[in-house]
Amino acid sequence: MSNASIRHGAIALAMLMSGPALAHSTGWHAALHDAAGAQMGSIHAGEMPAGGVHLLIELTDMKPGVRAIHIHETGDCSAEGFVSAGAHMPAATDGPEQASHASHQHDHGAHGGAAGDLPNLHVPETGTLTVEYFVPGLSPAMLSDENGASVIIHAGADDYSGVAERQGGAREVCGVFEPH
């Protein structure tokens, strides 16, 4: 069994075991829009009692296929191609330096990369998908710092290699996390 399979299984088990604990004391919401401004769904994020963040992702009218999804370090979707969202949310570290997405040296994200790295979405032919993730390496402070945070859904899949050119391609959908 691969390390990625073990990690995904552990994440799924953690999500199942935390069922009753999913009542969030602190929460955020991001309305997801494409470049034309059409609403494509939403994401609700909440602080987990034992640490980490629970994400509830609800998509509508998405193109079917496997899509990369990442939490980005800046809460801004205003620029063309959503480049204003910045890079993937890095892993939190104890020192002043933060781990880069490309290094994949830390096991903080949902699949072993940076805190903002999430498992690919598998959008069915209907274009509608609801999925939950528990992200232990993501903290409420990371979503609500002075730069904010956003979520990007890419045109293609992330191959989890850490190579920038293979992390999902064009940024097609973006949303800014706002407290609720």
Which pLDDT value is given to residue 171? 96
Which pLDDT value is given to residue 113? 67
In angstroms, how far is the first alpha carbon of the chain from the final one?
40
**How far apart (Å, rounded) are the C-alpha atoms in residues 159 and 119?**
10
Cβ 89 vs Cβ 115: under 8 Å: yes
Q: Determine whether 80 is exposed, middle or buried from the number of CB atoms within 10 Å of its CB (0-12, 13-18, 19+).
A: exposed
Which pLDDT value is given to residue 16? 44
Q: Structure tokens of 86? A: 């910045």
Taking residue 128's Cβ as centre, other Cβ atoms within 10 Å add up to 14
Which pLDDT value is given to residue 114? 81
Q: What is the pTM of this model?
A: 0.77
Q: Which CATH architecture has domain 3-19+26-179?
A: Sandwich (2.60)
Which pLDDT value is given to residue 91? 74
Q: Structure tokens of 133? A: 């993730």
Q: Structure tokens of 173? A: 């959908």
Per-residue pLDDT of the chain (180 residues; tens, 9 = 90+): 555 555 455 454 444 444 444 444 569 999 999 999 999 999 999 999 989 999 999 999 999 999 999 999 999 999 999 999 999 898 765 333 333 333 333 344 444 568 899 999 999 999 999 999 999 999 999 999 999 999 999 999 998 887 766 778 899 999 999 998
Domain boundaries, given as residue ranges, for the chain: 3-19+26-179
Which pLDDT value is given to residue 41? 98
Which pLDDT value is given to residue 161? 80
**How far apart (Å, rounded) are the C-alpha atoms in residues 149 and 130?**
21
Looking at the chain, the number of H-run helices and the number of E-run strands are: 2, 10
Which pLDDT value is given to residue 104? 32
**How far apart (Å, rounded) are the C-alpha atoms in residues 170 and 151?**
13
Cβ 104 vs Cβ 93: under 8 Å: no
Q: Structure tokens of 137? A: 């390496």
**How far apart (Å, rounded) are the C-alpha atoms in residues 108 and 126?**
32
**How far apart (Å, rounded) are the C-alpha atoms in residues 66 and 88?**
19
